[in-house]
Amino acid sequence: MAPEVGSKSGAIDWRISDSPVPYETAVADMERRVAAIRDGQAPELVWLLEHPPLYTAGTSARAEDLLDPASLPVYRSGRGGQYTYHGPGQRIAYVMLDLDRFGHDVRCHVWRLEEWVIAALARFNVKGERRDGRIGVWIATPGGGENKIAAIGVRVRRWVSYHGVALNVDPDLDHFRGIVPCGIAPEATGYGVTSLARLGITASMAEVDIALRATFDDAFAAAAACRA
């Protein structure tokens, strides 16, 4: 496992891994932490990391949406959603929270994750938006199109959440060509993927982490509205 630094704020731990973490290692670590949170043996956790280049298939993934199965490793995932790409330059935020504190509302949890990303993007003067029927965070393009900048997929076990957010900072966007990202075919819909770098924002991963940390508490505050 990659070396990491951790910090604690209130009841939630924060962990940052400084080199790519293998997907199976990350999932195993999340599973252990979720069990410990549920048993009252560990605090909740937000884990910021990157993965080596790979594809993951969520519980709704369709075989025909894996366009180039030989190009990268493919991992079955227990999270919701379809196929997505993970790799260097993409900030993964695995969010392990006890949803007993948030009304046992998974849709609201997804809304809060979107709200968090939207607020973090605003720190870079980027307007992230929701779209009805399409989970994640989207960027409107000057020509009237829309590109996805952050994917969201969650799993809940005994009312503890895990998995979370994949925010494109500066990944190799060509890797998305090997899948139909989140089941949305660019050729049929006009929807694509983008990144902060593609938008001309030269933010470092450390700067993105600062923005995520600074906006988390408001998005997940007990008083925050949820319009899921």
Average confidence (pLDDT) per 10 residues, the chain, 228 residues: 46 94 97 97 97 92 88 89 93 96 90 96 97 91 89 94 97 91 58 94 97 95 63
Active site residues: 182
CB-hemisphere CA count at 13 Å for 129?
9
Check residue 2 and give its pLDDT.
Answer: 40
pLDDT for res 225: 64
Handedness of CA 21, 27, 33, 37 (dihedral sign): positive
CA dist., res. 190 & res. 225, Å (int): 31
Alpha-carbon distance values, 211 to 46, 80, 173, 215 (Å): 14, 26, 22, 6
* Structure token digits, residue 71: 């190009």
Contacts of 99 (CB under 8 A, 6+ apart): 105, 106, 109, 156, 159, 160, 161
Q: Please, which residues bridge with residue 168 across strands? A: 90
Residue 166, pLDDT score:
96
Cα–Cα dist 75/71, whole Å: 13
CATH architecture of structural domain 4-219: 2-Layer Sandwich (3.30)
- What does DSSP assign to residue 192? E
Would you state the pLDDT for residue 191?
80
- Bridge partners, residue 94, by sequence: 47, 164
